[in-house]
Structure 1
Amino acid sequence: MKAFGFLSFGHYGAVPGSQTPDAASALKQAVDLSVAADEIGVNGAYFRVHHFERQQSSPVPLLSAIAARTQRIEAGTGVIDMRYENPLQLAEELASLDLLSDQRIAIGISRGSPETALRGYEAFGYTGTKDPRGADIARDKFATFLDAISGEGMVDADPQRTRPGTRLVVQPQAPGLRDRIWWGSATRETAEWTGKLGLNLMSSTLLTEANGASFADLQNEQIDRFRQAYAAAGHTGSPRVSVSRSIFPIMDERDAAYFGGREDVDQVGIIDGYRSTFGKTYADEPDKLIEQLRQDPAVMSADTLMLTIPNQLGVDCNLHVLQAFAEHVAPALGWRPNTDGPVQGERVDSLR
């Protein structure tokens, strides 16, 4: 494990015990936690994106604020729902963010997670999908987005103002931005598709597959397929792979009260019409966590581990979880505190 960070779902609401009663508190605490995490050497701060819900919905302002107040930590998403996005506007925004942050971003994008809204992307003006989940428009727009950030001409220039036949590119352009784009995958087939495109893989917090194998084994196969597809397509870059887990080192009585006693088994259920597998929660004393995580093949195969955090418990509680993991668990898995900036990928063969 080369890197670890936190993945926040960004929940807020005036419910008993919540430290994030409103959107302002959730946003400001996200920045504060990122600053504190940067100071202790955590590699990444990543945020889920949901629309029409009391969660983070428009990530670029948040990531910009984090980049402005930190020095090394990677700021990213897990994931942006492409169904809701204008691909050219997103290309402009992320290029600007990449330049402002000195390339400290990791942007996960996908079709999007199951949502409360019924075809909510249509309310944003994106219609015409033939798929009840909107996967077709998500991929079409993502292809346009990739062309835009790669410097492809996107519109004809006015011949009265420039040379006839000129195609204009989206501005600004951020060199190497494509290398910092990840696709969020919930299936083995989508992981292969991601590898063929030559992107990074952000394996989902759940897999929309269930064949009797454990979540970790399914995810490990997904990672293997991704790397094989990446190499077979002839890509020579350095792809990264992230997985997410709920991991809580039990350091004191408060930790035991908050996180102890959870059933440490995978769960299978129906979500968005798919029979799906959900990973288990790891909550134990640090030495036991180390052994448990060493037995998780996907964690050991990935280069980046995202710890899903209960953001509504506030900055102090979540920083305690991150610090306990950084001091007592992560070093035994190969991690060292971040002192130089974002993690660089390694060649496929060295990661397998």
Structure 2
Amino acid sequence: MQRFGTLSFGHYGPLGGGRQLTAGDNLHQAIDLAQAMDELGVNGTYFRVHHFAQQHSSPMPLMAAIAAKTQHIEVGTGVIDMRYENPLYLAEEAAALDLISDGRLALGVSRGSPESVVRGYEAFGYTGSVDPRGADIAREHFDLFLRAISGEGMAEADASSPFGGAPGMQRVEPYSEGLRSRIWWGAGSHDTAVWAGQVGVNLMSSTLLTEDLGMPFDELQASQLQAFHDAWREAGHAGTPRTSVSRSVFPITTNQDRMFFGHSQERGGVGYIDGLRSTFGQTYAAEPDVLIEQLKADAAVQAADTLMLTIPSQMGVDFNVHIVESFATHVAPALGWVPANAV
């Protein structure tokens, strides 16, 4: 584990006791938390993207604001639902964000997670899917997006236009050199991990996998990461791809921590999500020395270069800074962590 960061759903709404966390509060707190983590040397801040829910749904303005106010931390998504995206507009936004951040973007995309609405992407204008979960639309959009960020011409120049430049097919602008190497696919199974390796993008693996092969979650996930690396190598891609896994990890260093998380240790299991038999990861909550041994024994954490910590963002900036700082101080160094501001 060379890097670690936080992964946030960005929940907002009622907090109980008459308290309310608004969408504006949520966004400003995400920026404040990212700035504090940047000072700690945390390597990344990543946001889940869910539509039609009181969570993050439009991450680009948020990540641009964070990038403009930080120096080291990577900004990213885990993941953008490609069923909802205009591929060329996303290519423009991604390139602009990559330029603003000086290459600190880690853009995770995929088919997306189970929704709170029925085929919500159709409300965004993307119809015609023959797949009940819209996977075909996601792959089509992703293919066009990759072509666009790679600089491929997308539209013919108008020779009669007074604003035209060179003749021929025109790429979308802005264009950011190297952006393609900072694109990640969120894979939920061995098959999608192999596909990502063949395509030549980085791999994000979540806290659940949409398959059950009769083995513990961490071993199943480590096997998925290995299948991805094998496919990358067999496809002949240059360089070494990055991989990430996410975990719920809560170091217990204070009585308050024990009150909130003392009973949060949960073992993974098997269940159903989105109609698929799935394997779920566990939650880690313990004293730092115990966490170190548990995470060293987690095969997937050891296999990935980046660990994303899912955080309770609705609990506020100060408390989440405490969680992150406890992990950075008492746990991460024993796992091989390299602070971003030390590179």
Runs of 4 or more, structure 1, over 6 Å off, are 17-20
The CA deviation string for residues 306-349 of structure 1, in whole angstroms up to 9 with x for no partner, is: 000011111111110100000000000011322156xxxxxxxx
Match for residue 143 of structure 1? 143
The CA deviation string for residues 74-123 of structure 1, in whole angstroms up to 9 with x for no partner, is: 00000000000000000000100000110111000000010101000000
CA 150–18 in structure 1, closer or farther in 2 if over 3 Å, else same: farther
Give the drift of 1:164: 9.6
CA 334–20 in structure 1, closer or farther in 2 if over 3 Å, else same: farther
What letter matches 1:292 in structure 2? Q
What letter matches 1:299 in structure 2? V
Match for residue 4 of structure 2? 4
Provide the C-alpha distance between the structure 1 equivalents of 2:165 and 2:303, rounded to a whole number of angstroms: 51
Match for residue 31 of structure 1? 31
Residues 79 and 112 in structure 2, CA contact (< 8 A), matched pair in contact too: yes
Provide the C-alpha distance between the structure 2 equivalents of 1:113 and 1:26, rounded to a whole number of angstroms: 21
State the SS of the aligned residue for 1:127: coil
Matches within 5 A, 1:175-190: 175-190=177-192
Provide the C-alpha distance between the structure 1 equivalents of 2:338 and 2:173, rounded to a whole number of angstroms: 37
With normalisation by structure 2, the TM-score equals 0.97
Residues 20 and 312 in structure 1, CA contact (< 8 A), matched pair in contact too: no
Match for residue 308 of structure 1? 310
Residues 76 and 108 in structure 1, CA contact (< 8 A), matched pair in contact too: yes
Provide the C-alpha distance between the structure 1 equivalents of 2:294 and 2:9, rounded to a whole number of angstroms: 25
The answer to whether 1:97 aligns with 2:94 is no
What letter matches 2:160 in structure 1? Q
State the SS of the aligned residue for 2:295: helix
State the SS of the aligned residue for 2:337: coil
What letter matches 2:82 in structure 1? M
Give the drift of 1:197: 0.8
- State the percentage of identical aligned residues: 61
What letter matches 1:229 in structure 2? A
Give the drift of 1:291: 0.4
What letter matches 1:59 in structure 2? P
Identify which of 146, 170, 173 aligns with 1:171. Answer: 173
Provide the C-alpha distance between the structure 1 equivalents of 2:84 and 2:306, rounded to a whole number of angstroms: 27
What letter matches 1:7 in structure 2? L
Match for residue 262 of structure 1? 264
Structure 1's unaligned 5+ residue stretches are 342-352
With normalisation by structure 1, the TM-score equals 0.94
Give the drift of 1:191: 0.3
Matches within 5 A, 1:315-334: 315-334=317-336
Provide the C-alpha distance between the structure 1 equivalents of 2:19 and 2:179, rounded to a whole number of angstroms: 35
What letter matches 1:83 in structure 2? R
Residues 12 and 18 in structure 1, CA contact (< 8 A), matched pair in contact too: no
Provide the C-alpha distance between the structure 2 equivalents of 1:136 and 1:205, rounded to a whole number of angstroms: 24
Matches within 5 A, 1:1-352: 1-16=1-16, 21-161=21-161, 166-339=168-341
Deviates more, 1:204-213 or 1:219-228: 204-213
Provide the C-alpha distance between the structure 1 equivalents of 2:331 and 2:19, rounded to a whole number of angstroms: 27
Provide the C-alpha distance between the structure 1 equivalents of 2:267 and 2:63, rounded to a whole number of angstroms: 34
The CA deviation string for residues 127-157 of structure 1, in whole angstroms up to 9 with x for no partner, is: 0100010000100010000000001011122
Residues 11 and 20 in structure 1, CA contact (< 8 A), matched pair in contact too: no
Residues 17 and 313 in structure 1, CA contact (< 8 A), matched pair in contact too: no
Paired residue total: 341
The CA deviation string for residues 228-271 of structure 1, in whole angstroms up to 9 with x for no partner, is: 00000000122100000000000011101111112431022111
User: Cα RMSD (Å) of the superposition?
Assistant: 1.5
